Amino acid sequence: MIAQATVFFRTTYFIDAAYIVAFSLLIYGMSGLTGPRTAVRGNKIASVGMAVAVIATLLTPGVWAGTTTVILIIVGVVIGTVIGIPAALKVRMTAMPQMVAIFNGVGGGAVALIAWVEFRHHFEPGFFPLRTEIFELFGAIVGSISFWGSNIAFGKLQEILPGRPIKLPGASQTILNLVLFVVAVGSAIVLCAGVHSQALFILGILVTSAVLGNMVVLPIGGADMPVVISLLNAFTGLSAAATGVALNNTVMIVAGMIVGASGTILTNLMAKAMNRSVPAIVAGGFGGAVAAPDRGSELEGRTVRSTSAQDVAIQLAYARQVVVAPGYGMAVAQAQHAVRELERALEAKGVTVKYAIHPVAGRMPGHMNVLLAEADVPYDLLREMDDINPEFSRTDVTLVIGANDVTNPAAKNEPGSPIYGMPILEVDRSGSVIVLKRSMASGFAGIDNPLFYEPKTAMLFGDAKQSVSEITAEVQAL
Amino acid sequence: MGTTFVIDLSVLVLAGFVGYAVISKVPNTLHTPLMSGTNAIHGVVVLGGLLLMHVATGWLEHLLLVIAVAFGTINVIGGFLVTDRMLGMFKSKPPTPEETAKALEEDNK
């Protein structure tokens, strides 16, 4: 029946033409994202493309057959709209990583459900051509992994689940994951070979992939989230494209592949910015599980210098250039608006203020940029790591707000350090460094940061938002 | 049918290259909007739910597809809306009075 519908559908020139218009608009819209000026329009163009695709699909002969179908489609769309609109309008920018994680999840979930229905519906072996079956099963496995993996990522980011890695001891986690993977793929091959109990087999594959999705993301620590979210994004895209091939739908193929490409690019960028390989991250256990080399004795005897908001204000107000290096701590403290106030106060005193953005600062690609944009910081003030690093030597004061590992000079100087080789913001090259931090607890990677013990570094302990507001008040009073 | 499959596969491969070329140019600044934008775009799976609804039989298949359509709609509507909201926050620095004066001068020439 699907085959008949598909054949009929292929003869409908109008629908085909509409689909070509739709994916052209999607690609053209996405190409607008190359700059902040064109991006708003690009996003609107892409949404028009999506609307064309949906309308063309609804016009496809047969889709509206029967009252039940019509009602069910409307019910589905209404439920999605009722959940989607308030979620999009209310979410805070600090919560964007969770939002993107759960959105990745529902996309993957939809793919898995569609595959399930396809297989449930056609019991007799050999109904599908083998090639269709392979793509549909790829979608089922990857979509299911993405759904469950994203739910775990959401749970960790929303702090429903603990952010630290949760894993079985030693190599048993890797072995279990490998077994699950082999079972899922093996069942898929058996299914392709033509077994009669297809309905049960597809359920088995979905469940195995679901367990695998949980097992893969649970052992990954909070600091690795930018990589995981990007990877799950790629997974969802690729599974959508595979379903597109199975359903013979060009818009699904093109859209899925764009997302797949985007997720892949981001995954690689994030992994590179952490100097770690993607397989190593997926194998898990970095964020806290790897024992940092015991240098406690070495660092003992070194002391940190604590400072006050008043002293910081004086230092900042008489500086020529101040660089702000924000990290996840700024997001947690919701300090972005306070930081913007401080920037304005300093600019009023004639101080040049710039922001240094590390690619993996925060919990997702570009997290800091969005937070600062929300606080009205013009994007021209945000500098990428490679642009700002040569400037630190000309900077009088660097203000590190809730960032830790991305400023850790051990990544440059200590070959034994777990983060050795990771590109960092070279804040230690500026005249002096002020670190805003809640306590001396180590970063998410559990690595001590020698920066804190440098003579030029002063620590301002306390809630970042409150500290920044105090500094601003002092600057304004000067 | 064989030809259709080959065409689909060709579209798949070519779209991969196009996607790579387009997305490579997106700057770090816009990576979060890029992710939420791609969230909206993989909501395209809603088409699969729409196309299969009339084929499905029994309450379970219908239920699964309603969920799939709802999921896809959340992605499409939520994704585009949140991206629009986010992109609206990205502002350039307003021109300084001197820059405005300079621009006016050039206009007068």
For chain A positions 376-415, those within 8 Å of chain B (CB to CB) are 376, 378-382, 384
The amino acid sitting at B10 is S
Question: What pLDDT does A149 receive?
Answer: 94
Residues of A in contact with B20 (CB under 8 A): 261, 264-265
Give this prediction's pTM. Answer: 0.87
What is the per-residue pLDDT across A162-202, written as a single tens digit (0 to 9) for each? Answer: 877 777 776 777 788 888 888 888 888 887 776 656 677 88
> Which pLDDT score is estimated for A299?
52
Residue A324 pLDDT exceeds 90: yes
Average pLDDT over residues B41-55: 93
CA distance A368 to A362: 6
In this structure, of A182-196, A257-271, A326-340, B24-38, the range with the lowest mean pLDDT score is A182-196
3-state secondary structure of B93: coil
Please give the DSSP secondary-structure letter assigned to residue B27.
-
How many angstroms separate the CA atoms of A401 and A142, rounded?
A: 38
Tell the burial category of A13 from Cβ atoms under 10 Å away from its Cβ (0-12, 13-18, 19+).
exposed
How far B106 CA lies from chain A's nearest CA (Å)? Answer: 23
Tell me what pLDDT residue A454 has: 87
In single-letter form, the type of residue at position A76 comes to G
Q: Given a cut of 60, is residue A459 above it in pLDDT?
A: yes
Q: How many C-beta atoms surround the C-beta of residue A164 within 10 A?
A: 15
Asked whether A25 and A52 are in contact (CB, 8 A), the reply is: yes
Residue of higher predicted confidence among A191 and A23: A23
| Residue of A155, A166, A160, A149 whose CA lies nearest to A98 | A155
- What is the Cα–Cα distance from A193 to A213, expressed in whole angstroms? 25
% pLDDT > 70, chain A: 89
Residue A193: its pLDDT value, please? 74
Count CA atoms within 13 Å of residue A337 on its CB side: 5
Whole-number pLDDT of residue A226: 87
What one-letter code names the amino acid at A28? Answer: Y
Contact (CB<8Å) B43/A50: yes
Q: Which long-range contacts does A419-423 make (Cβ < 8 Å, 24+ apart)? A: A419/A274, A419/A275, A419/A445, A419/A447, A420/A275, A421/A275, A422/A273, A422/A274, A422/A275, A422/A276, A423/A273, A423/A275, A423/A385
Query: Could you give the CA distance from residue B16 to residue A472 in angstroms, rounded to a whole number?
Result: 49
Top mean pLDDT of A128-137, A455-464, B69-78 is at: B69-78
Backbone angles phi, psi at A384, to 5 degrees: -75, 160
> In this prediction, does ipTM exceed 0.90?
no
Mean pLDDT of chain A: 86
Say if the Cβ atoms of B11 and A254 lie within 8 Å.
yes
Which is more confident, B106 or A273? A273
Average pLDDT on A325-348 reads 92
Give the three-state DSSP class for B34: helix
Which residue in chain A has the smallest CA separation from B26?
A34
Distance CA A462, CA A266 (A): 34
Give the nearest partner residue to A258 out of B9, B19, B27, using CB atoms.
B19
Q: Is A197 an 8 Å CB contact of chain B?
A: no
3-class state of residue B92 by DSSP: coil
Q: In what order do the strands lie in the sheet with A352-357?
A: A382-384, A352-357, A321-326, A397-401, A432-437, A457-461
Residues of B in contact with A99 (CB under 8 A): 36, 82
pLDDT tens readout for residues A354-375: 999 999 888 888 899 999 999 9
When mean pLDDT is compared across A117-121, A297-301, A352-356, B25-29, the lowest value belongs to: A297-301
Judged by CB atoms closer than 8 Å, whether chains meet at A66 and B36 is answered as no
Longest dimension (CA), chain B: 75
Could you read off the pLDDT of A48-101 as tens digits, one per residue? 999 999 999 988 888 877 888 899 999 999 999 999 999 999 998 888 999 999
Are the beta carbons of A245 and B8 separated by less than 8 Å? yes
Contact B81 A84 (CB under 8 A): yes
**Do residues A435 and A457 lie in contact, with contact meaning Cβ atoms separated by under 8 Å?**
yes
In angstroms, the Cα distances linking B72 to A45, B49, B66 are 19, 8, 10
